[in-house]
Amino acid sequence: MLVAPATIGLLAPMSATANEVTISDFAPAEELAITNSRVDGLEARMNNIEAGSFSETTTASFGVDFYLGAQDDEESASGAETDASDDALTFGYSLGIGLNTSFTGEDSLDITLDAGNSTEGVAEFDGNTNGDALTVDGVSYTFPVGEATFIVGDSTDGSALFTTACVYGGPGNLLDDCANVNAGITGGAATLGASYDFGNGFTAATGFQTGSEVTGMFTDETLDAYAFNAAYIADTYGVSLTYGIVETSSINEDKFTALNAYYTPEGYFPSISVGYEAGDIGGADASVDEKTSFMVGLSWDEVGPGTAGVAVGHSNTIEGTDEAYQYEAYYSYDINDGMTITPLIFTKDNVTSGLDDTTGVMVKTSFSF
């Protein structure tokens, strides 16, 4: 026991000496300087990469839709088909990329990139139609000012902050807007909008969009659109009113009013969505100066492994003409967390004398990642 401390004291200097000998033998001063220089350069490059990378608040979302379908086109009174593509099986796709970032935690900068070729085939294909080239479909910035929320953007809908009281989620092109076809203005160039939440379910919003930025914004030369929206949303029901003005020339404008409502009862009963829009067409002949749209949709949230819906309605019917009603039914189910398949079957009245109704089927496969 008396010898052990002395022995440890002798071994400690020997260990330090051994370390010094190992470093000097395997890493001369010149090589150490070169190695340290390379390490410093690598650290600098890593710092540059981190400084230029996405911020922690930036997210990206991706969606791809495949459309496969066919429709039985009209026949003339003689029985001859009016379209050579009658019953042809057609395919289309739609790609969407969404980029989002926030600088304060309450604001949102959003950029949408789109591509798609769903321009031909079944009329119910409801995808992007700008071709295979990826294009910027919208840029917007949403931010709060006190209790209000504002949005400014380009190629963004003027109704971006609107609330439409509808829960029907059909995948087709005709009835998916719940008859709020024109009042909820869309497809603007430069856009400005604002909304206010009064609490207890009451909200109000307004939107402005210019038809072109070439000749200026909100001038006599541009065909602009203005709209107002008010809504009340409760736990099981909601109602909204939308009023829009769409300029069609320097002296004419169309005015649209859309009323929407929904009710979602408890239990196994379906949700019901109803929409009606009436439009006063400025400058048109007095006998056809009004357009109307109407829809009723039923939705079941739990039907086996998926959801289902049926709807009936017509869109942009000119006053004095018969309504071309469309009837549709769909069933949507998730294959996994990122893949959903939705078959749709529909039939549409053909109000032209001597022509059969149009019937068709469509299968929409959606991927999100």
- Give 10-residue mean pLDDT values along the chain (369 residues): 39 41 49 59 53 71 95 61 65 95 95 88 85 93 96 95 96 93 93 96 96 68 91 97 92 94 93 97 68 97 94 93 94 96 94 79 96
Q: What pLDDT is recorded for position 102?
A: 95
pLDDT of residue 156: 92
Question: What is the CB neighbour count within 10 angstroms for residue 337?
Answer: 8
pLDDT for the residue 157: 94
Give pLDDT, residue 34: 60
CB 178, CB 162: distance < 8 Å: no
Whole-number pLDDT of residue 8: 38
Q: How many CA atoms lie within 13 A of 238 on its CB side?
A: 23
């010094």: which residue's tokens?
20
Residue type, 275: G
Bridge partner list, 309:
299, 330
Amino acid at 41: G
Nearest to 364 by CA among 68, 45, 28, 88: 68
pLDDT confidence of residue 24: 44
Both structure tokens of 360: 């068709």
The overall pTM is greater than 0.95: no
The residue among 266, 271, 255, 254 whose CA lies nearest residue 165 is 271
Report pLDDT for 41. Answer: 60
From its phi and psi, is residue 146 left (phi > 0), alpha (psi between -120 and 50) or beta? left
